[in-house]
């Protein structure tokens, strides 16, 4: 039982464990621009690239320069960490103050790399800054949800059987969209699980930690697995309560303190 987040806009992000100062990494990151331009039905007017240390946007700028010279390339940075934009404006590398966006912390490099800035300065059309509010606007809606698992064992005879059941996703039942969810403290959100009207479990928050921090991790890590999050995808936050056996013919309902109710059966 969990809230889920539905994306209507998503982006690729520079991975924090890469070294943008290495020429091979810069070139490798530029292949995403080559793939994007190859898939585009027409020539791109502009390409916007999420920017941290500048390696990804540098690779994209080089790829665009060689294959689509009329396409502008823009660096996109989180508000408060717009070191590339300020460096382009001043002509010299500028650093970021401590802190920065809690949602885009994979893009909080302290300063553009010397090599990446040398590539970017003559090639980028400029920089754009995105606020946390605009990042949150990429989430179309939040819903309470019940995940239905395939069960092969019923009441689990051992831990391995329970693990097998947990790996069998059968479906996701969504409740109504939650109004004003950005103002809620989801870490403190409480919930109650009922089966046939009887309370079987109560819980609070996600054991994995802050929801938005988990989503940000997924966006960064997902870029390695499958090219990042895409528009229209449903992203679950993981179970808040673990699993409970609901037999055929029974009904289940989960009531969140502020996120509404979702029912099954």
Report pLDDT for 20: 45
What is the spatial distance between Cα 123 and Cα 28, in angstroms, rounded to a whole number? 18
CB 3 within 8 Å of CB 186: yes
Query: What element of type H or E holds 49?
Result: strand 46-50
Sequence-ordered alpha helix ranges (H) in 91-210: 114-120, 132-136, 159-166
Element at 193 (helix H, strand E): strand 190-195
Name beta bridge partners: 201: 193
The residue behind tokens 């003559």 is 122
Q: What local confidence, expressed as pLDDT, does residue 203 receive?
A: 87
pLDDT of residue 246: 83
Banded pLDDT at 65 (limits 50, 70, 90): very high
The confidence score (pLDDT) of residue 2 equals 45
Give pLDDT, residue 4: 46
User: Which pLDDT belongs to residue 18?
Assistant: 42
Cβ-proximal residues to 122 (8 Å cutoff; 6+ apart), any chain: none
**pLDDT at residue 24, rounded to an integer:** 82
Architecture label for domain 10-135: 3-Layer(aba) Sandwich (3.40)
Percent of the chain past pLDDT 90, that is, above it, reads 32
Q: What are the φ and ψ backbone dihedral angles of 75, each rounded to 5 degrees?
A: -85, 135
Confidence (pLDDT) at 10: 38
Q: Which residue has the higher pLDDT, 222 or 35?
A: 35
Q: Which residues touch 170 (CB under 8 Å, ≥6 apart)?
A: 148, 149, 150
**pTM (predicted TM-score):** 0.63
Per-residue pLDDT reduced to its tens digit, 200-221:
999 887 766 667 776 766 666 6
Determine which helix (DSSP H) or strand (DSSP E) holds 202, and give its type and residue range: strand 198-204
Question: What's the rounded mean pLDDT across residues 144-160?
Answer: 71
> In the chain, pLDDT over 70 holds for what percent of residues?
75
Q: What is the pLDDT of residues 76-128, one digit of tens each?
A: 998 888 999 999 999 999 998 887 776 776 667 889 988 899 999 999 999 99
Reported confidence tier of residue 19, pLDDT bands at 50, 70, 90: very low
Which tops the pLDDT comparison, 217 or 30? 30
Give the other-Cβ count within 10 Å of 137's Cβ: 13
Q: Could you tell me the residue ranges of all domains in the chain?
A: 10-135, 138-205+240-264
Distance CA 170, CA 162 (A): 15
How confident is residue 227, by pLDDT bands cut at 50, 70 and 90? low
Query: Max Cα separation, the chain?
Result: 69
Give the chain's mean pLDDT: 80
Residue predicted with more confidence, 239 or 112: 112
77 forms bridges with which residues in the sheet?
Answer: 129
Helix (H) or strand (E) holding 221: helix 211-226
Which pLDDT belongs to residue 23?
A: 79
């Amino acid at each position: 039982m969990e809230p889920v987040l539905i994306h209507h806009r998503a982006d690729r992000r520079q991975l924090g464990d890469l070294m943008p100062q290495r020429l091979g990494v810069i070139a490798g990151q530029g292949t995403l621009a080559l793939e994007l331009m190859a898939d585009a039905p027409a020539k791109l007017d502009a390409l916007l690239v999420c920017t941290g240390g500048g390696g990804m946007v540098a690779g994209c700028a080089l790829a665009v320069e060689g294959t689509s010279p009329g396409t502008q390339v823009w660096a996109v940075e989180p508000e408060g960490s717009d070191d590339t934009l300020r460096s382009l404006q001043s002509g010299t590398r500028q650093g970021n103050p401590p802190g920065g966006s809690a949602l885009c912390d994979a893009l909080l490099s302290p300063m553009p790399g010397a090599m990446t800035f040398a590539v970017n300065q003559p090639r980028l059309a400029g920089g754009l800054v995105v606020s946390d509010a605009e990042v949150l606007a990429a989430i179309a809606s939040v819903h309470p949800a019940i995940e239905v698992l395939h069960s092969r064992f019923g009441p689990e005879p051992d831990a391995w059987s329970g693990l097998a059941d947990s790996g069998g996703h059968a479906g996701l039942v969504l409740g109504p969209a939650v109004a004003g969810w950005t103002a809620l403290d989801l870490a403190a959100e409480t919930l109650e699980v009922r089966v046939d009207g009887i309370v079987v479990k109560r819980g609070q928050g996600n054991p994995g930690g802050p929801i938005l921090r988990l989503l940000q991790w997924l966006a960064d890590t997902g870029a390695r697995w499958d090219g990042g999050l895409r528009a229209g995808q449903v992203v679950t936050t993981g179970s808040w309560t673990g699993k409970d056996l609901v037999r055929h013919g029974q009904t289940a309902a989960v009531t969140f303190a502020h996120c509404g109710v979702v029912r099954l059966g």
